[in-house]
Amino acid sequence: MRTLIIHNPRSGFGSDAVFQFERAVAQAGDECLLRILEEDFVASEACADAGDFDVVVLSGGDGTVSTLLHALAGRDVPTCVFPSGTANLLAANIGNAPEPSSLARACRRGMTARLDLGEISWTDEIGQRRTRGFGLMSGTGFDAQIMQAALPNKAMMGQAAYFAAALANPRPSVVRFTVTIDGRTVEREGITCMVANNAMIQGDIQIVPDCRMDDGLLDVIIVETSDATQLLAPIAFGLVDRAGKSIGRPHIKSLKGREVRVEVSEPVALEVDGEVMPGLVRSYEARALPGAARMVVDSMSPYGGADEGPSRFGGSDVIAYPK
Ligand SMILES: [Mg+2]
């Protein structure tokens, strides 16, 4: 097996887990090339030779990984997401066993699933058209404000920085969103409008139910509230109902579609997979890229099959304890 690891050393806490992964791959006798990204890396250049390898491992935070996945979209290279960032939500949503040796094993087994990516486009403040790929979600409004506020504390506090930032911004501004999904338009007032390829956020909470990255659709999520303490209510619901199936989340409106256009009544901040874009926007377009990533998955992943064969302890789930 020839493995290419593309690693961003500026992601997260500077964990050395990716080097454990590299050792696990090399110990098994496989060839492994470790490419360290420069600060101003160009994603298409960093993975230009990906086709020369059996597996490409993307190691970094959600922003880095999604940028690289977008550059690899449609290339059909088996790709493994390695969690080296602060939150690692994309890796969590893919759901593989996260330990370096487990991921090395998943790469060797080579089970893959074709999973969707998202793509978002907008016009920036100097009139330039910009396009970014995303693995998780992107959006305008309060979520972008939270990401911005969390930035100074991410290195020290990790995921708690997001919650601290949400609590420190209790009165987000309410704007009017005009959302067109596959030709159908709805209007809503709210504090944020996000497009999601995945809906599991910090704390294993599903903010909307049944969001999958293999249905070829984006979920559009509008949070209709003016008070962050109301936003915390669905999060609290999530703590007892992680699957997000419960009723009683009146403030979250969710829709599904392949192509989405969002117009906002006033300029708002935009974030893409947790990275705040410079300037403010009045509108954006997003679309699903169905099956664009060929992702390494294991039997722990909701997108993986049972690859381990029957248990040597037998297939019964009835356990007979001695009396
Ligand atoms: Mg989907």
What is the domain range of residue 13? 2-110
How many angstroms does the Cα of residue 212 sit away from the middle of ligand 1?
4
**Counts for the chain of helices (H) and strands (E), in that order:** 9, 16
Co-location of 102 and 145 in the same domain:
no
**Residue 239: its pLDDT value, please?**
47
Co-location of 178 and 153 in the same domain:
yes
How many angstroms does the Cα of residue 256 sit away from the middle of ligand 1?
8
**Residue 171: its pLDDT value, please?**
61
How many angstroms does the Cα of residue 196 sit away from the middle of ligand 1?
7
Name the domain count of the chain: 2
How many angstroms does the Cα of residue 181 sit away from the middle of ligand 1?
14
Co-location of 37 and 176 in the same domain:
no
Co-location of 159 and 71 in the same domain:
no
The residue to which tokens 């669905």 are assigned:
234
Task: Identify the domain boundary among 60, 76, 110.
Answer: 110
Q: How many CB atoms within 10 Å of residue 300?
A: 13
Amino acid at 156: M
Co-location of 97 and 138 in the same domain:
no
Q: How many CB atoms within 10 Å of residue 17?
A: 17
149 occurs within a structural domain: yes
**Residue 199: its pLDDT value, please?**
84
**Residue 321: its pLDDT value, please?**
55
Instruction: Enumerate residue ranges in the chain where pLDDT < 50.
Output: 236-240, 246-250, 317-318
**Residue 145: its pLDDT value, please?**
63
Contact 50, 56 (CB under 8 A): yes
How many angstroms does the Cα of residue 114 sit away from the middle of ligand 1?
12
Non-local CB neighbours of 56 within 8 Å, separated by 6+ positions? 3, 4, 6, 47, 50, 72, 77, 78, 79, 80
Co-location of 35 and 138 in the same domain:
no
Provide the 8-state DSSP code for 190. E
